[in-house]
Chain A
């Protein structure tokens, strides 16, 4: 799947503010540093696609109100 330049830029912005000492564990894909995640997003490899999916899912939950509803019902 090819994402638009805008989407990739948006996700890149979000990941680039992640602390440098953090790594993201994505099941059997492995554990990835910020630099590796940024590269994967650019390459749109399986890790990059997973990160884009996760971020878009969250943005969708925010804009649809699902995220706020879930927090309010806790």
Chain B
């Protein structure tokens, strides 16, 4: 069994199922270190997929699955660089995270996100690359990027458009409000709703079911039904970078980083 124990995440495989666990305090914010470790995972995924049927992504932190991109790191780094260098750095980060997420999205095995608590922004986008989302009843989903003057940058809109109705995408994106699990299931985002603290157990039961099918047939079915929206993903990076160059973003990031509001993801 191949295993990896990193600072922000770990993985291992057992009985045909790979488990990738996120464990970066306080809420699995995705910054440069998480990206590096996700890239290591993506590099190992081809080999892991040859010997396994399913992948489960989950978080061992009480706060939730992931609060998304590490906005503090983004703000601090962009403060230390001149504007063009900061913009180049953002584009490079986005292209790298897209590489990782595309690799998970098109992996020839069944992928399951077991989520609870905060599943926001980039964390939501990480869950969206999975074939199935199993959520406990305390999970919350949100795209708060517009408050910063941005759009989601880790492939969220193209993947949501692929999977859901456009009206739901607009609701999430344009209001910045969060959905609870019941709402998320109603709109078709979540495949199973389970009790508090039960998402990993339910995901394991689902993965166990998946291992009963022929791997190649499942991979063929997945490839047929789940195309990667590559052109829109590329366009998303361009739009994100155009918006990032605007002064409102720096102000939005500063406001967020310095905020003591109870709901800091709202404008």
Tell me, yes or no, whether A binds B.
no
Interface of A with B (CB < 8 Å)? none
B interface residues, Cβ below 8 angstroms from A: none
